[in-house]
Amino acid sequence: METYLRFTTTGYEDLERGTSLLSLPSLDEDEVLEGLCAFSFDIDHDMTEDDILRKVEMYAKNFCYYNEGTAVIIEGEYIKQNPNGEGVVIRAERIIKEYNDL
């Protein structure tokens, strides 16, 4: 299992649903992805909670157009690269931690 970061205000609902929608101008309608969109997010064993929070905040700043103020760290398995060119699609197993007010 690997760890991933997903910006969402509905983390547990996303986990239960297990799919994301891909919406691109080139598509006539949204495409259902067989997994959740997320970003690879390695957590080193020597990282403190403050280190992890700083890393989450850095991702929130760099991907501000996805950030809705809440992010979750998810344990899951890689399925494929996200067709939109950013991040990956994963089979999510569990939420490790939720961060609010980013």
Pairing of β 20-22 and β 2-7: unpaired
Task: For residue range 12-41, list pLDDT tens digits in order.
Answer: 999 999 999 998 888 889 999 999 999 999
pTM for the model stands at 0.90
What is the predicted pLDDT for the residue at 27?
Answer: 85
What proportions of the chain, in percent to the nearest 5, are helix, strand and coil?
20, 40, 40
26 φ, ψ (degrees, to nearest 5): -80, -10
Q: Please name the residue that has the structure tokens 């809705």.
A: 68
What is the predicted pLDDT for the residue at 67?
Answer: 86
The more confidently predicted of residues 54 and 23 is 54
> What would the mean pLDDT of 77-96 be, rounded to a whole number?
96
What is the predicted pLDDT for the residue at 51?
Answer: 96
